[in-house]
Amino acid sequence: MASPHDQFFRTLFGQPRLAASLLRGLLPAGLVTGLDLDRLIVRDGEFPAIGRGGRRADLVCEVPWRDGPAAPAHVVVLCEHQSRRDRWMALRLSEYAHGVWAAWRQAHPRTKHVPLVLPVVVYNGDSPWRAPPGLLDLQSGPQKFKQAARPGVFDGHFLLDDLPSTVDAALRARAMEAAAELGLRLLRDARGDLAAGVRAAKALFARIDESPSGLAALGAVIRYCLVADDGTVERVLVEEIAPTLEPEPQEILMSSADRLRAEGRAEGLKQGLEQGLEQ
């Protein structure tokens, strides 16, 4: 079962506009200039795995080249959200990439090229990432000889967004949409004092209606805040954030909070009835 952090990441950045905003601030600038992120498409993340059942990536995006070959005319970005360090992440992403390439070759048997695949990990654990960033570190051998072998080794490096090590100013400098920046800040702050993080993000909440995608994301933002709540976040949202919002986002915030309270009461009643029947 997916964690609230995973569900929030998929819901928020499953919107193409916010996924584009995330990647525009995260990918190397020299690459971004060659991509048409305004035409990004979010694809299904199901892949055939090697040697076991199917695996699902959190977010798979196809991004067209601005001036590219006839086929494949796009880049595939595999974006994984992680709340815990995973030593085998590079291997997992390599399996996903293999799935993309195998599917492309099957669909285009006369092809001479496969899409460029960019693996990205967005990490919001409780301490900085320490797991290997590529396959070379997972393979055995004396370090000096492994380094000498690097030019001929399939390494499978991935781009890491290490949120615990990323301060607010660095996220702001990416110039993302307000909803995208807010989502990353909340994922990071949920590992510590989420109420303080919500309070510090007041200006981002006030800007969330800058675009239709921001308003569409607000319900997911509020749900995530309340599901991850330690008992103080709801008060901050209702008493400190809601009064600063325009009428439409304010209504979304309050109705989302009311709906989650009702769901919580219903779930509590259901559990109470089940316990009573068991007794």
Residue 125 lies in a domain: yes
Residue 91 lies in a domain: yes
Residue 253 has pLDDT above 80, yes or no: yes
Residue 183 lies in a domain: yes
| Residues in CB range of 162: below 8 A, 6 or more apart | 123, 128, 129
Computed over every residue of the chain, the mean pLDDT equals 83
Rg (the chain; Cα; Å):
21
Q: Are 244 and 197 members of one domain?
A: yes
Q: What pLDDT shows up at residue 192? A: 87
Last residue of a domain, one of 165, 192, 215: 165
Reported confidence tier of residue 112, pLDDT bands at 50, 70, 90: confident
Domain extent at residue 65: 1-165
Residue 155 has pLDDT above 90, yes or no: no
Q: Are 66 and 202 members of one domain?
A: no
pTM for the model stands at 0.78
Reported confidence tier of residue 52, pLDDT bands at 50, 70, 90: very low
Q: What pLDDT shows up at residue 18? A: 94
Q: Are 225 and 130 members of one domain?
A: no
Q: What pLDDT shows up at residue 17? A: 94
Residue 279 lies in a domain: no
Distance CA 53, CA 174 (A): 37
Residue 147 lies in a domain: yes
Sheet containing 159-162, strands listed edge to edge, beginning at the edge strand earlier in sequence: 41-43, 59-64, 74-82, 116-123, 159-162
Q: Comparing 183-192, 205-214, 270-279, which segment has the lowest mean pLDDT?
A: 270-279
